[in-house]
């Protein structure tokens, strides 16, 4: 434990470390009282009589158990085990499938049936025959899908494309209209391996030597442009900064704030790191991530290839300890995310949760069109819970140097998750700062705390660049 020196931060602590049981069936042996000759040698009447006698002998007496019955178990346990028989399980699967199909069935009005006259039908038939060169080859039935059946899909796709185009144009405009003459701010479109177009931007100092690189990853529902002031602060100390709007956010492709898989975002980050390093060979590279962006960075850093090419990570309010607003969502999320992935759950969004103590910062955030303010989508929430669970089970594998900062009053991500990260990570260079009374958006807290947090991050980076 290292005591806090002269700093404007009120913290609780600073921690730094370097250096099926088997059932046996009993089958009764049935022995007829009398040996009967072969039925093949008897007349029809004799055969009927013989069969009737055999059945009388095989019929169990009242009150006695059949000697040929298969005895697996007895009493209530036998009836319970019967529920888990192969036939019962098959019936259960059929029932579940029927329910799922019922849920997926579109409840739409009856389609208008257009009657085709015999003359028109014959004409169509003749035209098909002529197109086949007059041959007698049979032509399969022509299926005509009404245009109205797919119109809603085309309308939804067109609406999504327009939304993405509007968001991207706004993101580009903000970059172009940045009038700061001390930095060079540019944007580019990065296409990932799945063919999605991701919006990226960079901040570079006009003067001075470049000492290192910082790759910035925003949190859920926001975008990289929100961290422009922080990026320019890093520029002043010789760091080139690169930001990426991950899928479904900012100027990137995808439904706003919808994430089909955070593993895709992890893959995109790895590709983006490779691109940045190729453009800046020989410079130390660091990653900065906030909230869910920090979780994406952590999972990427567990990859030995990424670990080998980055010098450290800085994490603010990482989504390692994440709890749903109600425990039932943990159970329902995997199911509903498959059936209705884009469904919005208002309760899971923890409506009205304050993320900063600065009213102006809150006003700027929630009036920003590039910031998603709707209820969280089921699939997105499930993916956050899933990546948090994965990280908690693999924290010991983290060997990259890191600095983690977390406010003790954070109501979005649990500070205890950051404590667990610090305690279990195998990194020999790790530091944690618990900031007393601070909320979730640490870089948007009131002054002078905001400035002090930025300076501490830069000091941590400077120490590792100079080594």
Q: Does the N-terminal peptide bond of residue 168 adopt cis geometry, omega within 30 degrees of 0?
A: no
Q: How confident is the model at residue 158 (pLDDT cuts 50, 70, 90)?
A: confident
Q: How far apart are CA 370 and CA 166, in angstroms?
A: 10
Residue 12, pLDDT > 60, answer: no
Extents of the domains making up the chain:
153-465
DSSP 60: P
Q: Report the catalytic residues.
A: 291, 410, 440
Instruction: Please list the residues that pair with 203 across neighbouring strands.
Output: 185, 241
Q: What is the pLDDT of residue 353?
A: 82
Helix residue spans in 59-199 (DSSP H): 75-83, 86-104, 118-131, 147-176
Percent pLDDT > 90 in the chain is 56
* Strand (E) or helix (H) holding 376: strand 376-377
Residue 308, pLDDT > 80, answer: yes
Residue 380, pLDDT > 70, answer: yes
Q: What is the pLDDT of residue 333?
A: 73
Collapsed DSSP state (helix, strand, coil) of residue 290: strand
* Inter-residue contact 292 to 391 (CB < 8 Å): no
What does DSSP say about strands 212-217 and 11-17: parallel, antiparallel, or unpaired? unpaired
Q: How far apart are CA 162 and CA 255, in angstroms?
A: 11
pTM above 0.85, yes or no: no
- Over residues 255-292, the pLDDT tens digits come to 999 999 999 999 999 999 999 999 999 999 999 999 99
Q: How confident is the model at residue 48 (pLDDT cuts 50, 70, 90)?
A: low
Measure CA 198 to chain center: 18
What does DSSP say about strands 11-17 and 430-435: parallel, antiparallel, or unpaired? antiparallel
How open is the CA angle 132-133-135, to the nearest 5 degrees? 80
Collapsed DSSP state (helix, strand, coil) of residue 175: helix
Evaluate whether the domain defined by 153-465 bears CATH number 3.40.50.1820.
yes
Residue for token pair 């036939």: 87
- Over residues 187-233, the pLDDT tens digits come to 999 999 999 999 999 999 998 889 999 999 999 999 999 999 999 99
* Inter-residue contact 239 to 204 (CB < 8 Å): no
DSSP 3-56: ---S-S--EEEEEEE--------EEPPP--SSPPPPGGGS-HHHHHHHHHHHHH
Residue 414, pLDDT > 80, answer: yes
Q: How confident is the model at residue 173 (pLDDT cuts 50, 70, 90)?
A: very high
Q: How confident is the model at residue 334 (pLDDT cuts 50, 70, 90)?
A: confident
DSSP 226-281: GGHHHHHHHHTTTEEEEEE--TTSTTSSSSTT--S-HHHHHHHHHHHHHHHHHHST
């Amino acid at each position: 434990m290292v005591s806090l020196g002269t700093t404007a931060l009120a913290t609780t602590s600073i921690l730094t470390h370097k250096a099926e049981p088997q059932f046996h069936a009993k089958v009764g042996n049935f022995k007829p009282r009398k040996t009967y000759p072969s039925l093949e040698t008897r007349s029809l009447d004799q055969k009927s009589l013989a069969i009737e006698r055999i059945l009388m002998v095989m019929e169990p007496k009242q009150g006695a158990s059949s000697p040929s019955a298969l005895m697996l178990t007895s009493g209530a346990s036998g009836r319970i085990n019967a529920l888990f028989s192969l036939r019962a399980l098959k019936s259960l699967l059929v029932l579940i499938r029927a329910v799922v199909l019922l849920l997926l069935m579109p409840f739409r009005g009856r389609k208008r049936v257009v009657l085709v006259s015999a003359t028109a039908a014959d004409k169509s038939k003749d035209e098909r025959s002529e197109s086949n060169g007059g041959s007698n080859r049979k032509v399969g039935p022509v299926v005509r899908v009404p245009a109205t059946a797919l119109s809603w899909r085309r309308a939804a796709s067109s609406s999504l494309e327009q939304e993405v185009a509007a968001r991207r144009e706004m993101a580009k405009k903000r970059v172009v209209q940045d009038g700061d003459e001390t930095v060079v701010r540019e944007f580019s479109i990065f296409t990932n391996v799945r063919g999605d177009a991701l919006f990226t931007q960079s901040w570079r100092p006009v003067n001075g030597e470049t000492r290192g690189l910082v790759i910035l990853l925003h949190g859920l529902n926001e975008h990289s442009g929100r961290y422009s002031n922080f990026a320019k602060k890093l520029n002043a100390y010789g760091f080139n900064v690169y930001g990426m709007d991950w899928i479904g956010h900012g100027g990137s492709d995808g439904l706003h704030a919808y994430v089909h898989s955070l593993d895709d975002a992890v893959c995109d980050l790895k590709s983006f790191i490779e691109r940045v390093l190729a453009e800046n060979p020989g410079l130390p590279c660091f990653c900065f991530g906030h909230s869910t962006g920090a979780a994406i960075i952590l999972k990427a850093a567990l990859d030995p290839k990424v670990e080998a090419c980055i010098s450290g990570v800085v994490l603010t309010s990482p989504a390692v300890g994440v709890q749903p607003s109600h425990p039932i969502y943990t159970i329902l999320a995997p199911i509903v995310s498959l059936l209705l992935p884009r469904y919005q759950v208002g309760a899971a969004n923890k409506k009205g949760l304050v993320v900063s103590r600065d009213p102006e910062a809150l006003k700027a955030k929630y009036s920003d069109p590039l910031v998603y303010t709707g209820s969280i989508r089921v699939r997105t929430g499930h993916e956050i819970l899933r990546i948090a669970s994965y990280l908690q089970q693999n924290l010991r594998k983290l060997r990259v140097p890191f600095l983690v900062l977390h406010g003790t009053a954070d109501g979005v991500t649990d500070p205890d998750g950051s404590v667990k990260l610090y305690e279990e990570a195998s990194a020999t260079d790790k530091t944690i700062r618990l900031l007393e009374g601070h909320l979730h958006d640490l870089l948007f807290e009131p002054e002078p705390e905001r400035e002090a947090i930025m300076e501490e991050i830069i000091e941590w980076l400077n120490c590792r660049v100079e080594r």
